[in-house]
Amino acid sequence: MKKLGLILSLLFLTNCAHHKSHHVEVDTNWGNLERVTNVHQHVYTAGQPNEAAIAAFKENGGAVVVNLREESETGFSKEEKKWVESKGMTYYHIPVNGKDMKAAQFDAVEKVLSDHPKQKVLVHCSSANRAGAWFAYHVSRKHKDKPEKAMKMGEAMGMTKSGLKSQMNEMIKE
């Protein structure tokens, strides 16, 4: 019986060690960004960065920027790709329509992360709503967290719009 208890304890501890807790760590010194959230190891979410924020990300070890904004959005910067690449970083544009999100779009973000292991990645949109939605998707699919927990984590990362939350809730329950 003692062996069974020891085995179960070890399995529990192994699961806890593997399933790292996600935390919110905010750094307010990145250009125009008032809230940069370190969501998991080397991954950050934020709203729309300006050129100074891109430079600050690079100075802080940044390597990859993923832009979730659509070109038709007000405030979309056509200069962003140039800012990122001029700093020697890699730029990805994966447009996500906040009114019609698709799992394939978030799977593309997951592919970027797997293609750039251990590199600092910034995933952003205009206000961190879609970036927070991606994070809910990420913890639901990759880390197998329950939908309720994934939704709470996405909300903590910036997913605040009710329509977006409703879509994400349906997406991660599939």
What's residue 140's pLDDT? 92
Residue 4 placed within a domain: no
Number of domains in the chain: 1
Residue 13 placed within a domain: no
Residue 44 placed within a domain: yes
Regions of the chain short of the pLDDT cut 50: 1-22
What's residue 8's pLDDT? 30
**Angstrom distance (rounded) from CA 66 to CA 95:** 9
Please report which residue ranges of 23-173 form alpha helices under DSSP H: 51-59, 80-86, 103-115, 129-141, 147-156, 162-173
Residue 6 placed within a domain: no
CATH code of residue 59: 3.90.190.10
Q: Work out the percent of the chain whose per-residue pLDDT is above 90.
A: 68
Residue 17 placed within a domain: no
What's residue 36's pLDDT? 83
What's residue 81's pLDDT? 98
Residue 72 placed within a domain: yes
Residue 1 placed within a domain: no
In the sheet with 36-40, reading across from the earlier edge strand, the strands are: 26-27, 36-40, 43-46, 120-124, 62-67, 90-93
What's residue 169's pLDDT? 92
What's residue 4's pLDDT? 32
Q: Which domain holds residue 146?
A: 24-173
Q: Which of 115, 149, 128 is nearest to 46 (CA)?
A: 128
What's residue 142's pLDDT? 87
Residue 5 placed within a domain: no
What's residue 28's pLDDT? 52
